[in-house]
């Protein structure tokens, strides 16, 4: 379980806190989605989890342990993270890159065993990139690179998975496949925390949506509770209507043509 308790993140020179007293839980067995406008604090929350943000208040815990008490190796064995942006430090075969996800379990000296190789093969298949295994990372498209990064996180085989905008650059089929995969991983018992701007997909797949606005939790709950037109208009400063997904009945957002005079 990942828990954020009164989290406050600030950046030097900023007029306000990037994250201002945010509290929520991403439990095992559920897909928890973090959404909100640009600049609302979503990525800063992920950076706080990774100890890469200036946390001036509150705490982030994993199964009750403050992340600041964990070594980076311990943190990497508990949580696999797909950050929003990442470039390979040097070209490598896709299989070798995905195998980096096994490093927290191997350390400096232990050679990969059969279990590690199976973990890599399974991660390649789950992310739909097994056909790219022998390609070089610098020969991938943006969408292929995104899926390879997800495969590396899956290879870590952690009890928690955090993804910051994982479907960037993906076409509709691969976007849906990733959401289906994340939903399946959550049902298998993982704690899955997803940062996404794709509110309609989030509403179809997430168990809980935490909606941020200006660094604070504006509302949270089941998709049907969060996806309310008046609330979303206030947060996004744009007129919307809420309809129903014809396939499963989930709420769906439709932005209107003319902005509100707010």
Domains delineated in the chain: 2-85+158-255 (3.40.50.300)
DSSP letter string, the chain: -EEEEEEEE--TT-SS-SEEEEEEEE-TTEEEEEE-STTSSHHHHHHHHTT-S-EEEEEEEETTEEGGGS-HHHHHHHEEEE-S----SS--BHHHHHHGGGHHHHTTTPPP-HHHHHHHHHHHHHTT-GGGTTSBGGG--HHHHHHHHHHHHHHT--SEEEEESTTTT--HHHHHHHHHHHHHHHHTT-EEEEE-S-HHHHHHH-SEEEEEETTEEEEEESHHHH--HHHHHHHHTS-EEEEE-TTT--EEEEE-SS----
Mean pLDDT of the chain: 90
Q: What is the pLDDT of residue 262?
A: 54
Q: What is the pLDDT of residue 75?
A: 92
Q: What is the pLDDT of residue 14?
A: 83
Q: What is the pLDDT of residue 261?
A: 61
| Residue 177 pLDDT > 90 | no
Q: What is the pLDDT of residues 98-136, one digit of tens each?
A: 999 888 887 666 677 788 899 999 999 988 899 999 999
What residues contact residue 16 under an 8 Å CB cut-off, 6+ apart?
Answer: 214, 215
Q: What is the pLDDT of residues 182-205, one digit of tens each?
A: 998 999 899 999 999 889 999 999
Q: What is the pLDDT of residues 83-92, one digit of tens each?
A: 877 777 778 9
For residues 231 and 208, give the distance between their C-alpha atoms in angstroms, rounded to a whole number. 16
Q: What is the pLDDT of residue 109?
A: 65
Q: What is the pLDDT of residues 47-95, one digit of tens each?
A: 999 998 889 999 999 999 999 999 888 999 999 999 877 777 778 999 9
The terminus-to-terminus CA distance of the chain in angstroms comes to 39
Q: What is the pLDDT of residue 260?
A: 53
Q: What is the pLDDT of residue 73?
A: 87
Q: What is the pLDDT of residue 87?
A: 73
Q: What is the pLDDT of residue 154?
A: 93
pTM above 0.85, yes or no: yes
Q: What is the pLDDT of residue 107?
A: 64
Q: What is the pLDDT of residue 89?
A: 72
pLDDT class of 15 with cuts at 50, 70, 90? confident
Q: What is the pLDDT of residues 196-237, one digit of tens each?
A: 988 999 999 999 999 999 999 999 999 999 999 999 999 999
């Amino acid at each position: 379980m990942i828990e954020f308790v009164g989290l406050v993140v600030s950046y030097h020179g900023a007029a306000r806190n990037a994250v201002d007293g945010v509290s929520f839980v991403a439990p095992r067995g559920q897909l928890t989605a973090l959404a909100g406008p640009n600049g609302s604090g979503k990525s800063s929350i992920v950076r706080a989890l990774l100890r890469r943000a200036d946390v001036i208040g509150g705490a982030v815990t994993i199964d009750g342990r403050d992340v600041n008490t964990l070594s980076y190796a311990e943190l990497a064995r508990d949580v696999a993270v797909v950050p929003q942006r990442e470039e390979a430090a040097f070209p490598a075969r896709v299989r070798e890159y995905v195998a980096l996800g096994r490093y927290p379990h191997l350390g400096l000296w232990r050679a990969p065993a059969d279990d590690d190789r199976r973990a890599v093969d399974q991660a390649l298949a789950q992310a739909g990139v097994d056909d790219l295994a022998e390609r070089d990372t610098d020969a991938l498209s943006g969408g292929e690179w995104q899926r390879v990064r997800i495969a590396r996180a899956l290879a870590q085989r952690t009890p928690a998975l955090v993804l910051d905008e994982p479907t960037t650059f993906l076409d509709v089929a691969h976007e849906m496949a990733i959401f289906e995969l994340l939903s399946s991983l959550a049902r298998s018992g993982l704690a899955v925390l997803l940062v996404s701007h794709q509110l309609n997909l989030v509403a179809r797949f997430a168990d809980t949506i935490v909606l941020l606005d200006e660094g604070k939790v504006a509302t949270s709950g089941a998709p049907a509770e969060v996806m309310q037109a008046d609330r979303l208009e206030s947060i996004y400063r744009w007129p919307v209507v809420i309809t129903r997904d014809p396939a499963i009945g989930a709420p769906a957002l439709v932005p209107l043509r003319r902005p509100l005079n707010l």
